[in-house]
Each structure stands twice: as C-alpha cells, then as structure tokens.
Structure 1
Amino acid sequence: MNDVMAELAKEHPHVSFVKLEAEAVPEVSEKYEISSVPTFLFFKNSQKVDRLDGAHAPELTKKVQRHVSSGSFPPSTNEHVKEDLNLRLKKLTHAAPCMLFMKGTPQEPRCGFSKQMVEILHKHNIQFSSFDIFSDEEVRQGLKTYSNWPTYPQLYVSGELIGGLDIIKVRFFIKILCLEHPFLKRLLTNKASVMLFMKGNKQEAKCGFSKQILEILNSTGVEYETFDILEDEEVRQGLKTFSNWPTYPQLYVRGDLVGGLDIVKVGAF
C-alpha cells in the first residue's frame, strides 16, 4: 500500500498524502477510531469526508479519483496551503493577550507538563486563554514549525512565543506580568522614551555606577525618567531576567535595553 500511495501522490500532485504510524499518535488513532491498519482517511478543509479500512488498492484508487473528480480536493499549491495555515496560526496566537497551547484544557490537562503550566499561571493569577492541540492536528503540527518549537505546552504573550514549561519555570516572566500590572509596561515603554532603572533617583544616586550614568545623561541634555529599583524587589529581580542583564543601572530607549554604564560610556547611546 505504500507503493500505491506513492503512485497516487505522483498522479495527483495537488493532493496531500500523509502517513502516520498509528501507535506513535494514539490520540489521533483514538479520535478517528482506528482499529486496524492500514486505514485511510480523506479530509477536505480539515474535515473528514471519507475513509477506507484495510489494504484495498483498487478501492483506494477509486476513492481518490472520485474525490478528485468531484472537487473534494481542489487544486492548490503547497505554498498557498502554508500561507493560509500561517495566517490561521497568527490569529490563534493573538486570540488573547496570553495564549496557552496545551494538551487538554485547563480544567482537564491531558499531560503532566500542561498541568504544571496551568498551575504556574494560576499561582501567579495570570488570566489566559487556551487551545487544545489534540482538537486540531493541523494546528498541532503547524505551530511547531511556525514557532520553531517542537513540544507542548507553548505559551504566547501578545502573539510572541515565551516558551515551554522549562522556560516558564526558570524565569520570572515580566512580559506576562505586564498584562496584569500595567504599571510595569508603562515603566518600560510609555512613561518616557528614555528610562533609567538605577539605584536611587535623579536627585540622589545610591551607587557609584548610577551616579556616573546620571552625569552622562545630564551632559547630553536628553530628557529621561528614572525608576529606583531599591524600592521594588519584584521589578529589581524580574528585570534582570527579562532583559538578560544581571546588573544595574539599565538604560532603555522606547522599551528596548541599550545597556549598562559601560555600554553608555563607549557611546552606544
């Protein structure tokens, strides 16, 4: 039957032929009630329209030809299909400010990793929406390529992939907290075009490095605001992980990290 499939694929290049090992994808086998192999399923627009159980080459050929002639498999290019899928995935990842693609639902996770991810989000009181990747094989496989991330769960904030369970467990995700605590987002982007996170403030620096960077900024005449990281331990620790920059002061322009004192001293600012 592999040879038959190969020949049919050559004869009908606009039809996608896909082979799955039933035991390797038990959730798919269960969903489509695969009780014997081979079983052939026919899909149009992600909906099953026909099936054939057993190794019946003539019948398989007839069914493919019948669906092709009836327009069940309209001619299309792989590029067009990929473009449509990417558009759909983009809409799904932007469907909510915080989107979790998981196995199962928050109420009934269907794997340990998804369960742990839900527990972490609930622990931090993060509001999120979810998508059960078991409910749509096209999304399940497509999202791996779309985001270049091979496993689930996957967490997105404002359409941007944050990562899987391991990433979430080891980082204090400021991007997510920005959704729940708007003042953080305002500090990073909206309060001022140039933001300096330092020890102390404009009037009184509380470390030598912060004092030096204030002197540099004041000499340029650039307008800027400051935030005293000694006043908020959550911001102090979280910002280090968010920017992958372990020390202070930290200078941001329009929400993007420029660097610390050494970077500013050599003229990057």
Structure 2
Amino acid sequence: MAAGAAEAVATVVEVGSAQQFEEHLRLKAKSLLVVHFWAPWAPQCVQMNDVMAELAKEHPQVSFVKLEAEAVPEVSEKYEISSVPTFLFFKNSQKIDRLDGAHAPELTKKVQRHASSSSFPPSANECIKEDLNLRLKKLINAAPCMLFMKGTPQEPRCGFSKQMVEILHKHNIQFSSFDIFSDEEVRQGLKTYSNWPTYPQLYVSGELIGGLDIIKELEASQELDTICPKAPKLEERLKVLTNKASVMLFMKGNKQEAKCGFSKQILEILNSTSVEFETFDILEDEEVRQGLKVYSNWPTYPQLYVKGELVGGLDIVKELKENGELLPILRGEN
C-alpha cells in the first residue's frame, strides 16, 4: 500500500487551464512546485517530460506539473514564457526560480537545491554558496556590458531601472540585462558578491561600475561613453544581419531547435529544398526582434530574406512552394 502511494505521488500532473493551474499552485503551496511549459511539436520538450518523470520518482516530496504553453496563453503571458521548454519553480505560491531551455543537468541541480534548501547541513550550504558564486561570475561576464535590473529594458519594473535603461539607450550603449525578479537566488546573492546592496547594478568586462547615481555622475563627467561599449546603429545592424547569408531566416529558435510551431513549419519547408540557409534566433535579441518588424514593415515571425530582401512569412513561403516558385527565389533566379 505504501509503495503504491509513493508511486502515485511520483507522477507529473498535466494542467489544462488557468483555473487548474491556480488551484494547483494553492494546494501545493507548502511544497516545491516545478512547472514545465512545453509544446507537443517540440521534441526537446518531450525529452524533458521524460526527465521530469524521472525526477518525480527521485523526489516524491516535490510536485511536478506540465502545462502546454500555447494551450493556456493567459498563464504563459503572465509568467513571460516566450519559448519552450521553460521551467518555473514555486514555493509558497511564489515564483522563486526559472530555467529556459532543455538543460537536464541544470534542471536536476535546481530541483535538488530548492527541494533541500531548508535542510542543508553547513558543509552543503558552503558548496551551494560556491556554486552560486560561480554562477554569478558567469552571469556578470555573459556580455561586455551587463545590467542587473528589476524587469527588462522593454518593461522596467522600478523607476531607477527605467532611468538606467534610458541613459544607456541615450548614449547608444550596447548591453545585455538580467531580470533579478526572475531569480531570487541571484537577486540576494549578487548583493553579497558585489558588496552593493541595491539595484540596478551595471557591470563592464566583469567589473562592477555601480548603480544609478554613479552612472549619472559618469554621464555628467562625460566618462560614460569611454567606459561602456557602443552599439552599432540598429538600421545598419539589421542591414548586415539580413545580408549575412544569401538566404536568412529570422525565427524563434534555430536550425536545430524551433521554439514555435510556425518556425518549425518553415524550417521543414526550407530543409526540403536542400538550399543552404542561415538562421537568427529573435528570442536571443529583443532589439532585433522589435526593430526588424519596423525595418521590414512585417509584424510577425518567422521572416525569410533572400539577398537582403524580405520574401515573407510562413503563409507566403507555403504559397510559393505550392506554386513551384520557392526554389527559383531561394536560388536567386527570380
């Protein structure tokens, strides 16, 4: 009987509506809840569902849920799910961590860490601290100029972060960002790591420059432009990107891993032509994602370009294939 009960617990529950999700969040508030936002068309999601099933057996005290991202859009939008697979971690009905992508070792590590976080002996706590410091160092060095902020450059979630983004944009500074609301461990750990108690925090070449007040001082003394790397003008950058290869596809994901159904379909069509092409993952670069819509006057993705000229999206590519016109266009014969 006990074995059967344990087996019943060690499962991944499928949630099909926003109401079910909220109920599950409330009912499992006292335990760690791991939610997999997935899509049936993505093979990497199916693989990660298998990983989740194994983790459920190993951690019967943890609740595991899978939720089809495109079937419950209100939940996906609420938690800013822009690609699959994505994993969210909840404790006390609050999101405490996030993992984007099919990274089984990292998922395993995060489940182990959060499942045992309240009962680690001191020696294990020291190991976790060391792991966190390595992770923080990696994040700080993820780009030449890194901004740790509340929210994103598109949607800052505090006035200081908003002002910081405005200054960096005004000076055409190229930077990447990390939303400290997406990871409580990073949010608290970085304060200690850098000995800086508030956000936003700006790093250049892995070194802390400071918060908003210091950036304002550097701007006033005209030193900011010499410290931070400049971004090429967006229009010039888009022109270079659209001409990077004779056939360029701007999509969600890449050749190996499409992250939306439309991108997957257009990949299959292009692969069937045997024509060489390159891809650009618009989920990796918000500036390109938004800017290319204006540059090409085309509001959706994927977008296909041949010799720097927009061909169109999935519907147009499908029509061209049906009419026998796609291959000559891809070869530059039209």
Q: TM-score, normalised by structure 1?
A: 0.40
Moved more, 180-189 or 121-130: 180-189
Are the counterparts in 2 of residues 175 and 242 from structure 1 also a CA contact under 8 Å?
no
CA distance 1:259–1:159, shift in 2 (3 Å)? farther
Distance 2:62 2:150 in 1: 29
Are the counterparts in 1 of residues 152 and 179 from structure 2 also a CA contact under 8 Å?
yes
Deviation at 1:77, TM superposition (A): 1.5
Describe how 1:1-269 pairs up with structure 2 within 5 A.
77-169=124-216, 174=224, 177=227, 179-180=229-230
CA distance 1:186–1:165, shift in 2 (3 Å)? farther
**1:23 alignment partner, SS class:** coil
Moved more, 64-73 or 254-263: 254-263
Moved more, 200-209 or 21-30: 200-209
Moved more, 41-50 or 135-144: 41-50
Partner of 1:267: none
Identity of aligned residues (%): 90
Are the counterparts in 2 of residues 188 and 252 from structure 1 also a CA contact under 8 Å?
no
Higher Cα Rg, which structure:
1
**1:182 alignment partner, SS class:** coil
Distance 2:88 2:169 in 1: 39
Q: Deviations over 1:136-165 (max 9, x none)?
A: 000000000000000000000001000000
Moved more, 105-114 or 254-263: 254-263
Gaps of 5+ in 2: 1-47, 217-223, 318-334
Deviation at 1:65, TM superposition (A): 14
Moved more, 101-110 or 222-231: 222-231
CA distance 1:210–1:128, shift in 2 (3 Å)? closer
Distance 2:109 2:276 in 1: 74
CA distance 1:230–1:7, shift in 2 (3 Å)? closer
Deviation at 1:107, TM superposition (A): 0.2
CA distance 1:263–1:79, shift in 2 (3 Å)? farther
Distance 2:253 2:70 in 1: 61
Are the counterparts in 2 of residues 44 and 72 from structure 1 also a CA contact under 8 Å?
no
CA distance 1:2–1:120, shift in 2 (3 Å)? same
Distance 1:42 1:70 in 2: 13
CA distance 1:112–1:205, shift in 2 (3 Å)? closer
CA distance 1:164–1:33, shift in 2 (3 Å)? closer
Moved more, 191-200 or 116-125: 191-200
Q: Deviations over 1:156-208 (max 9, x none)?
A: 00010000000000xxxx57546339999999999999999999999999999
Deviation at 1:79, TM superposition (A): 1.3
Are the counterparts in 1 of residues 172 and 231 from structure 2 also a CA contact under 8 Å?
no
CA distance 1:233–1:87, shift in 2 (3 Å)? closer
CA distance 1:181–1:224, shift in 2 (3 Å)? farther
Are the counterparts in 1 of residues 98 and 182 from structure 2 also a CA contact under 8 Å?
no
Moved more, 248-257 or 29-38: 248-257
Paired residue total: 260
Q: TM-score, normalised by structure 2?
A: 0.33
Distance 2:55 2:261 in 1: 74
CA distance 1:46–1:121, shift in 2 (3 Å)? farther
Are the counterparts in 2 of residues 44 and 73 from structure 1 also a CA contact under 8 Å?
no
Are the counterparts in 1 of residues 96 and 182 from structure 2 also a CA contact under 8 Å?
no
RMSD: 21.3
CA distance 1:6–1:142, shift in 2 (3 Å)? farther
CA distance 1:191–1:92, shift in 2 (3 Å)? same
Distance 2:67 2:308 in 1: 45
Deviation at 1:74, TM superposition (A): 9.9
Distance 1:39 1:226 in 2: 21
**2:259 alignment partner, SS class:** coil
CA distance 1:228–1:14, shift in 2 (3 Å)? closer
CA distance 1:9–1:151, shift in 2 (3 Å)? farther
**1:76 alignment partner, SS class:** helix
Gaps of 5+ in 1: 265-269
Moved more, 144-153 or 250-259: 250-259
CA distance 1:109–1:13, shift in 2 (3 Å)? same
Moved more, 64-73 or 119-128: 64-73
Q: Deviations over 1:213-257 (max 9, x none)?
A: 999999999999999999999999999999999999999999999
